[in-house]
Structure 1
């Protein structure tokens, strides 16, 4: 039995979370959910975006599944998600991007994984005004941070049967910071001779992904480039509605769709649950439940491919809950 923290989230979060719970229940995997609040709904109820009770639950259970969160304006938080990453040192942001038949895309052969460093770079938020007319933001890249994210990328490639890791950087200009990241990547790559290694300058990488995404496999990037390129990759496969994600640390992992909370669609039971369900697929793999993971992924892919029981954004007319039921039917 697994005890897992569930944060339903804001906006459409509770609907896609409920749909995902139903799908996971149908796998037969014994999960006991511990539901907690965060984001706007927590702020309105407790006056805190991240209640201590929620943090304690995640720390205790080690695994969490969460819906999208809203950070209210004027709270002092840049992002609830960034706060969670810092709180638990979730230094890995894992973002797979894969094409599925039935999803409108310009490509039909994309199968990419973005491994994004999650704790340093410009996202450290160390910035200040310089007088009245200039602002300065400090970019921090460390050897430790670079080594652990690159090592994870190679270990992931080995574990998942991937063939190549591409380090993405701007070391031609930022020779100290990105140079340190690249040199560290090259050194770690020597420990994994069975995995092909290459590097790309980030602007060229973006062009390459648009022209020939089939040439790439696992990409490892510093925080800011990873944020940008992961959304680019989502665009290659149909958008954020198909984009699952995970934030992983040494002992704790939080799985989540990467799209927003879409408050204007809340309560209408029409949001696409695919990204949330695919995030749960990643969670099952993380737990070692490979059979259940494959069962859910294949069922959802089949529902999307058929196009008969999908939500409006996928060209159908089904509700969130109806699409979830269609996935469950495929699993039986």
Structure 2
């Protein structure tokens, strides 16, 4: 049984702890939690931000989880003291510094990885030294006589030694050795192949040279890990441009502080960034975002960084599988974007997002996500119809993939690579179609190789097969066709029985990238082949459909969101004149509660046409042979007034009229107006409906409204 001390701290620290800690119980972990006090409120009460009883509790646990801590300046700290302690020369020392110093936590570990966004997926880590460097505390105002002999600079003389300040960058062999050993051990344990020491040795020559010597001495003992030293400013630049090039970055205190926040920005912001402080004794884990006192009590704080910090702690305690489950669940909730806090573009509260994350852990989503990228200048110009988008998406949907994005782009390496980088990591499957031909204007294979960072290599056995295909097709064996035998290293080949260009698939950033040739007759069977090879069908989602008429798309969504303000269910609204198609999908293990289903049926009863996506015309044709009677000649033509008798179905005649007349509507300059339709059956049953119409959609909407009126009149007769 592991023991963890929770120190919620100040501001939003209390809220994110309260929201995220139930994940420990949800994972059924053998961990005992206890609570302690730390932070600004402790200072205000007794002049000690880390009470003695908190230190006693820390000594009894395996790890400490900190919510967030407020630290303030000397003058403000003095003013916040209780009246009886003011003027007692009680020095305020940040609780974070106290924890690091007394527990010997010399390394601040900030893992950073890709979660979402238009960049190549990456995973790296910044390890910052906690006790030395420019933050070692040797910061002075004024140049005293004891140092004036050697601390010289022409600027000092302008206003005198009292109008200057100076800081010591302390580097010790002891501090550097333990930092570098920790860094290389971390890299090995977490499967990083490279360690980069970010420093400024070309400017800080003595301390930089000294640190470099120690770094390379330690690196020599880890021959399986590449080691290099780079200027910290160069690292900052490369980290923004190509974070995937780095493994573990290690730096002294101030440089590490700057780089770790920069890296957090690459991850998506401080609201997503976790941290660990490790060293000689008990480690502590905390989100990076701080206490944000202005946001406290509003239930708006993003709990993601706390969840990620808990995952770091669990990994340290040996619960590797559970730590990974938390990371994946938070990633998924953020990427789906349905239940997220304001900083991620949502409106959910801290608690609502935390509940969504925990539910995702307990009931992982079944539906996988995909995107379809079609390549070709001719598609962008409209020269050819892009039927591949629709047909490939239909295949993917049938295989239980949710297609989240369709993109068309030019035969341009940079553009294709950029789009691939934006899609990989966001979707389980990325399908790229087109641009695999033998000519120089086909750029897809080069773009994929660039995006996945694998060089193109020639496959001789595939080239032999291509030559055989060329001979069968009677195509000259031109050298340019050898391009079709180039594939990114590590690819698996997809045979093309009806063409010469094989496809391929390769893993990148947690996604599978499938590249197919452009012709539909080749691409579609090849995708089917890929799906049959790799796709294990799982139980599909529960799907609930409503086909509604006489109500706007916005009204439908408003009513649904009022009933279901926050849900992970997939809710889709589609306007298909004159219908609004609504579909709700729930996970296999979470069918819609009957009470919610009944409420939705009741809300939309007056507008419901069917729950199986059958239109009113379809439904009416199922029950009778309808013929229409109307004095409006134009309306008669629109309703296709030709009696068609089908054996077994009773004939039915319906009188129908509209106001204004169809002829006046067609000749009107108004594109959007309101129409009234009346239908009368032979039985005398009548039905009247008023509805807005678009002049350009009359041919679709009028027959459906007429059929719907007849169905309602028949229901009245039968009632």
Query: Could you say what secondary structure the match of 1:247 adopts?
Result: strand
Query: Could you say what secondary structure the match of 2:60 adopts?
Result: helix
Q: Does structure 2 retain, via aligned residues, the 8 Å contact 1:27–1:292?
A: yes
Q: Does structure 2 retain, via aligned residues, the 8 Å contact 1:202–1:225?
A: yes
The equivalent residue for 1:96 is 111
Q: CA deviation at 1:224?
A: 1.0
The equivalent residue for 1:127 is 139
Distance 1:25-1:63 versus aligned 2 partners, 3 A rule: same
* In 2: Cα distance, 1:292 partner to 1:2 partner: 14
The equivalent residue for 1:291 is 321
Superposition pairs for residues 147-166 of structure 1, below 5 Å? 147-166=177-196
The equivalent residue for 2:96 is 81
Q: CA deviation at 1:60?
A: 2.2
* In 2: Cα distance, 1:132 partner to 1:80 partner: 31
The equivalent residue for 1:241 is 271
Distance 1:222-1:106 versus aligned 2 partners, 3 A rule: farther
* In 1: Cα distance, 2:281 partner to 2:38 partner: 21
Choose between structure 1 and 2: higher strand proportion.
2
Q: Deviations over 1:225-277 (max 9, x none)?
A: 10010011111121111110011112210000111211111111110011111
* In 2: Cα distance, 1:239 partner to 1:181 partner: 31
Q: Deviations over 1:159-196 (max 9, x none)?
A: 11111110111111212222221111111111111111
Query: Could you say what secondary structure the match of 1:77 adopts?
Result: coil
Q: Does structure 2 retain, via aligned residues, the 8 Å contact 1:206–1:229?
A: yes
The equivalent residue for 2:300 is 270
* In 2: Cα distance, 1:98 partner to 1:77 partner: 35
Out of 5-14 and 34-43, give the one that drifted further.
Answer: 34-43
The equivalent residue for 2:360 is 330
Aligned counterpart in structure 2 of residue 189 of structure 1, from 219, 231, 241: 219
What do you get for the CA RMSD once the two structures are aligned? 1.4
Query: Could you say what secondary structure the match of 1:122 adopts?
Result: coil
Q: CA deviation at 1:79?
A: 2.7
Query: Could you say what secondary structure the match of 1:250 adopts?
Result: coil
Q: Deviations over 1:9-38 (max 9, x none)?
A: 111110101112112221111222221111
TM-score, normalised on structure 1? 0.95
Q: CA deviation at 1:108?
A: 4.1
Q: Does structure 1 retain, via aligned residues, the 8 Å contact 2:195–2:250?
A: yes
Q: CA deviation at 1:223?
A: 1.0
Q: Compare relative contact order (CA 8 Å, sep 6+) and give the higher one, 1 or 2.
A: 1
The equivalent residue for 2:233 is 203
Out of 257-266 and 30-39, give the one that drifted further.
Answer: 30-39
TM-score, normalised on structure 2? 0.45
Q: Does structure 2 retain, via aligned residues, the 8 Å contact 1:141–1:181?
A: yes
Larger of the two Rg values belongs to structure: 2
Distance 1:106-1:224 versus aligned 2 partners, 3 A rule: farther
The equivalent residue for 1:23 is 23
The equivalent residue for 1:109 is 121
* In 2: Cα distance, 1:30 partner to 1:54 partner: 23
Question: Which stretches in structure 2 are left out of the alignment for 5+ residues?
Answer: 78-90, 144-160, 363-719
The equivalent residue for 2:37 is 37
